[in-house]
Structure formats: structure tokens, C-alpha cells
Amino acid sequence: MATRADTAHGKNVHMSSRQRPVLVYDGDCAFCTTCVRVLERIGSDAEIVAWQFTDLAELRITAEQATDAVQWVQTDGAVHSGHEAIAAVLNTAGGIWKIIGRMILLPGISWMAANVYRLVADNRSRLPGSTPACARSPVRDQRPGAHDLRNARASARARRGP
């Protein structure tokens, strides 16, 4: 991606060098790779790349973001993660997939989709087709608040008792 100065307006305007949006996934995870193959078969109009084989700085995402969730980078540089990224890639496929992509973002469904995405992402090493690389990495476990949330849940269970 490149930037240029817009001399007519005296502003910096972000210009993308990409012609299509990009879905970035974890190429070391067999579960993620299997899901991407399904997205490719349904005919998504997006570039789909493993984060390990792309220039993350160019896409303006970090390795931490890429290992935590799939990332959708629009041609204008806007980034969406997790269930929003899945909805976006489905929107580019057209037909029923576009309808499903839009439904994922509906109020009332979006929060549920976000929670289901996180549940799957956090447990992908237990799903069919997973490999040891699907297990949570130290980077994933260092998400802001992740440790605090686990401690809060453990404390709540301890207070409830067996």
C-alpha cells in the first residue's frame, strides 16, 4: 500500500495498491487451511493468503492480530477481524453466501457470531483436521485481557464450588 499527498486539498490520502481485498489466515493451522479451501471453492472475490507468506506491514496488521483471528483488509486499507472478516469474504462470493455474510452482521446475530468465532478459534486444535500448529501459541495467549478473563472465570468457578 502506498500513500500520496493530495495537493489539491492539502491532505494525505491513503491509496491502496491492491485491486482486491485480502483475507489473511494462519497457514500453519490445518483447520484454518481447510476452511480457506472451502472459501476458495465457493468463489470468493478476494486474495486469500497465509499470514506467514505475506507482508503484514504492507497490510497494516501485526503477527499478533493475524494469529489471533482471520483478518480482512479492504482495498481502502480498513481492517476487520474474526466474524466480521468471515462475513466480508462471504459477501464477495455472491449468491446465498452474500446473504449469509450480511446475516452474520445483523444486530442480535453479530454478537453471537463473534462468540462462536472466538469459541472455534480458541479450540481449533480440538477440531477435525487440526494439527499441533493449531494449538494456542504464546502470542495468542497474550491477547490483552485474555489472562485476566481466564483468572476471573477460574475465580468465579472457585467461588461457586464443585
pLDDT tens digits along 104-124: 999 999 999 999 999 999 888
How many CB atoms neighbour CB 56 within 10 A?
Answer: 17
How many CB atoms neighbour CB 106 within 10 A?
Answer: 11
Distance CA 61, CA 85 (A): 13
Stated pTM of the model: 0.70
- Cβ atoms of 79 and 73 within 8 Å: the answer is yes
Task: Output 147 or 160, whichever has higher pLDDT.
Answer: 160
Q: Integer distance in angstroms from the first to the last C-alpha of the chain?
A: 54
pLDDT, position 130: 64
Q: pLDDT digits over 31-66, tens only?
A: 889 889 999 999 889 999 999 999 999 999 999 999
Sequence letter at residue 89: V
Positive/negative CA dihedral, 1, 79, 46, 95: negative
Report residue 156's pLDDT band, with 50, 70 and 90 as the boundaries: very low
Distance CA 88, CA 73 (A): 9
Percent of the chain at pLDDT above 70? 69
Nearest Cα to 86, choosing from 38, 52, 54? 38
